[in-house]
Amino acid sequence: MTGRATARASANIALVKYWGKRDPQLNLPARGSFSVTLAGLTTTTTVTVLGNDGEDQFVLNGEVADAGVLKKAKRVLDPLRNRAGTRAAFQVSSTNDFPTGAGLASSASGLAALAVATAGALGLDLDATELSRVARVGSGSACRSLFGGYVEWLAGEQADGADSYAVPRFDADWWDLRVVVAVVAPGKKAVNSTDGMTHTKDTSPFHEPFLATVDGDLIAAKAAVEGRDLAALGRVAERSSLRMHAAMQGADPALVYLAPESWVVITAVRKLQAAGVPVFFTADAGPNIKVFTTPDAQETVRAALLDLPVVRRLVAARPGGAAERIE
């Protein structure tokens, strides 16, 4: 069996966070989450089916990928290989067009692009929902990058994960928000998300209380996007993010992803809000702050952030489209 396909997928940022897995093997989350897929921050991946049953080869940004990347990739490659009834090895070449050091998770776009390209190379005709399930096993948040615009990941209840996949709720052009990532520190996070989630679940007294807030926040966030109400969306997104960080910080030993520089940016965003600027922030498992605003206020927000000595650079993004096969 031989075949080759290329696919592209975009990163996403959660507006309502997930932090906790009911099954870390299948990446089944304890609760749902809600994100926006970002144009411009993409991974392009080519998968070639090799005509033998040797080892998979993975080249990431022109270099042989490390063991951690290969391990996540295999969680997508192996099930698809089984489905196609082959033992052939794959050659994978993947490139992120992310600005270096942006601190944006490339695993979501990477595993989503990998799922689409691998299925294509194997000639498997899987719909986006099925590919969302496949990508999820590689990296939880990747299931959301199968779709464009504003996307909900259903937690599901089934043990095999059949009902845990992403669903597009609003198209990218439903609401033209702008995202400015304030990069305050480059580099890799100290504790990866899977380990951080397990540690939080096992040791933080604030984890269950955080999870208890998620269902209500999902309803509120979807209503805010439906009504294009930035103030309402900002309230949900900020509390979801900070309650997730509260749960992390309640772990023992504490998981602290935010840095002093992060708080400088958050304080600046709150100052802009107090001055009537439509803007809000969210932060994930790292120190960089993602700032949301409107096209009209974008320049004001950018100028205020660039004024902060802690900000090394800004990365701009906006709602974008679904993962797609491009070749």
Q: Pick the stretch among 45-53, 135-143, 169-177, 225-233 that binds ligand DP6 (CB under 6 A).
A: 135-143
CA distance 266 to 271: 9
The only residue of 30, 65, 88, 105 in contact with ligand DP6, by rule CB under 6 A = 105
User: If binding is defined by CB under 6 A, does position 146 make contact with ligand DP6?
Assistant: no
Q: Where are the beta strands (DSSP E) in 155-208?
A: 166-170, 178-183
Residues 47-76 that bind ligand DP6 (CB under 6 A): none
Tokens 């009537």 found at:
276
Which residue, 122, 114, 71, is CA-closest to 96? Answer: 114
CA 269 to chain centre: 22
The only residue of 139, 145, 164, 213 in contact with ligand DP6, by rule CB under 6 A = 139
Binding-site size, ligand DP6 (CB under 6 A): 16
Residues 278-307 that bind ligand DP6 (CB under 6 A): 284-285
The only residue of 6, 10, 27, 204 in contact with ligand DP6, by rule CB under 6 A = 27
Q: Where are the beta strands (DSSP E) in the chain?
A: 3-16, 21-23, 28-29, 33-49, 57-60, 63-64, 90-96, 150-153, 166-170, 178-183, 279-283, 289-293, 313-319, 324-325
* Angle at CA of residue 271, ends 320 and 254, nearest 5°: 75
Interface characters, 181-200, with ligand DP6 (x: CB under 6 A):
------------xx------
Under a CB-based contact definition with an 8 Å cutoff, are residues 168 and 37 in contact?
no
User: If binding is defined by CB under 6 A, does position 178 make contact with ligand DP6?
Assistant: no
Rounded to a whole number of angstroms, the minimum distance from the CB of residue 29 to ligand DP6 is: 8
The only residue of 43, 45, 96, 107 in contact with ligand DP6, by rule CB under 6 A = 107
Q: Pick the stretch among 104-112, 123-131, 209-217, 259-267 that binds ligand DP6 (CB under 6 A).
A: 104-112
Under a CB-based contact definition with an 8 Å cutoff, are residues 145 and 177 in contact?
no
The only residue of 9, 11, 18, 148 in contact with ligand DP6, by rule CB under 6 A = 18
Q: Which residue is nearest to ligand DP6 (CB)?
A: 140
User: If binding is defined by CB under 6 A, does position 140 make contact with ligand DP6?
Assistant: yes
The only residue of 10, 48, 132, 141 in contact with ligand DP6, by rule CB under 6 A = 141
Count of residues in the chain: 327
59: β partners: 64, 93
12: β partners: 37
Q: Which spans of this chain sit near ligand DP6 (rule: CB under 6 A)? A: 14, 17-19, 27, 33, 105, 107-108, 139-141, 193-194, 284-285
